[in-house]
Amino acid sequence: MQSSRSRVVMPPRSRLYNISPIGIGTNQVESLTSYIARLSEAHCVFVTDLVRYEIFNAIEDLPKSYHRDFFRKAEQINGQNSLAKRTVTALESLTLRTDLVDLTMSRLKGIIPTNQLLRQSKAWCKYCYQYWRDSGDILYDPLLWSFKIVNYCHVHGCRLSSNCEKCGSCLTYLNKCTRPGYCSYCNSWLGEIEQKINIDAEKQLFEVWVSTNVGDLIRYLWLDKNLTRNKLRESLIYYVDVVSSGKPYVFAGMAGINPDTFWHSYKGISILSLGDLMRICYFLRIGICDFINQIAIKQSWDNNRRTNQRASILKVLDYEIVKRQLEKALSNENPKSLREIGRNIEIHPNRLMYNFPELCKAISERYKVFRRETSKKKGEELRKQVQDTIVYLQSLDIYPSQRAIKNVLHLQKIFIKPEIKQIWQDILSKQELNKE
């Protein structure tokens, strides 16, 4: 009896409760700030106390800035920088868990530019909170809500809230009384009974689509821990080949992405932002996981391209508004180039050309004629000016050299144009002939 008792080895005890994070391996995985808030609640202590007396103590060589930044820049705890990394290490040592890194965006490091990735104050879906509470589920904040690019709930199709409806406060990720589902200032319930939402506006469709796909990316990164930026670039090259015969600028125009930024990513000089990546997938009508795995789209692309190009490929573009803008530009007294129009309405000319071929053709034709006429008129004016100046200089007994003409007209570059030089030579040689 004694000997069997001596063989029992006590498993290591964790200093803090080893509570399980919610949704690991899914698109609804919990965020680290939410985990910290729940851990404080489990220990019946304020968040600030748990952080100051436990988490800070568990960090070796704690930098001074850490004290200051922890609450002020709490959104970064869900990100991928050293604040997130040190917090994960500290919490893992306190809870003896090994999966807390999945509650941050660490796996995105090196794959997607991480600046501008985080939302600075909390956002939440009031219907999700309500649903969880009504069904007796644990209240928490998914990591997805920390992404700046995610503005809608993909489950309910509603816009995420960012202010408490009762006190109007904008909520920070962590403060003394943070608790998922409740305002940390006035303690009021943030949930609301679901109301039916019609998702019909283009922008709304796109936003919900983004939320779904950012969630899918989170899940994908958990499944495939070896995803690299190179793999994303290979996908990019593949789709540029399929859609625009290997022409990155054309592809960028079609997808509505800044061509130079796109070219840099295409060449592997920089990485594509999450927003651009989402726009590309939306344009291709494929999910982010299919994009990474280079799911063939060639056949469906070719079939749908002509019939659906206006209705579906570029849903984000407000077709009617842009059409009206182009029509207005076409009837404008002062014709402008397609490039300039595109710049004014912030849509790349390639994309305009792709969606409104007839209108764009008419605009380009009109501008070409206008340019031709203007340059003809200008040429005639210059010819007359040169002629008049020669006569004027001769009346003063001054030889009408190129320099003298330039000085009179205050046009130093006038003779750069070969046709003007020709005019000057013609007039002078005609005069010589007349003299003879």
Which span sits near Zn ion by CB under 5 A: 100-108, 149-157, 295-303, 312-320? 149-157
Adjacent-strand bridge partners of 182: 179, 189
Which span sits near Zn ion by CB under 5 A: 83-91, 179-187, 366-374, 377-385? 179-187
Among residues 50, 84, 105, 153, the one that binds Zn ion under rule CB under 5 A: 153
Which residues does 43 contact at the CB level (< 8 Å), separation at least 6?
16, 17, 50
Which span sits near Zn ion by CB under 5 A: 144-152, 185-193, 245-253, 369-377? 185-193
Among residues 166, 372, 378, 403, the one that binds Zn ion under rule CB under 5 A: 166
Q: Binding to Zn ion by residue 242, rule CB under 5 A? A: no
Q: Binding to Zn ion by residue 232, rule CB under 5 A? A: no
Q: Tell how far CA 209 is from the center of its chain.
A: 14
| Residues in binding contact with Zn ion, number by CB under 5 A | 13
For residue 33, with 0-12 CB atoms within 10 Å meaning exposed, 13-18 middle and 19 or more buried, which class applies? buried
Q: Which element (helix H / strand E) includes 340?
A: helix 338-345
Which span sits near Zn ion by CB under 5 A: 117-125, 203-211, 237-245, 367-375? 117-125
> Shortest Cβ distance from residue 124 to Zn ion (Å)?
9
Q: How far is CA 373 from CA 180, 243, 283, 333, 357, in A?
A: 68, 38, 40, 14, 24
Q: Binding to Zn ion by residue 176, rule CB under 5 A? A: no
95, two tokens: 């809870």
Q: Which is nearer to Zn ion, 185 or 206 (CB)?
A: 185
Q: Which is nearer to Zn ion, 76 or 211 (CB)?
A: 211
Which residues does 299 contact at the CB level (< 8 Å), separation at least 6?
none
First to last CA, the chain: 138
Q: Are 145 and 160 in contact (CB under 8 A)?
A: yes
322-331 CB burial, b ≥16 within 10 A, e <16? beebbeebbe
Which span sits near Zn ion by CB under 5 A: 138-146, 159-167, 196-204, 347-355? 159-167
Among residues 96, 186, 321, 369, the one that binds Zn ion under rule CB under 5 A: 186
Among residues 19, 149, 155, 289, the one that binds Zn ion under rule CB under 5 A: 155
Residues 122-141 within binding reach of Zn ion (CB under 5 A): 125, 127-128
Which span sits near Zn ion by CB under 5 A: 180-188, 284-292, 322-330, 353-361? 180-188
Q: How many CA atoms lie within 13 A of 132 on its CB side?
A: 20
Q: Return the biggest CA–CA distance within the chain.
A: 138
Instruction: For the beta carbon of residue 197, count every other beta carbon within 10 angstroms.
Output: 15
Among residues 51, 183, 236, 297, the one that binds Zn ion under rule CB under 5 A: 183
Q: Which is nearer to Zn ion, 145 or 282 (CB)?
A: 145
Q: Which residues bind Zn ion (CB under 5 A)?
A: 125, 127-128, 153, 155-156, 164, 166-167, 169, 183, 185-186
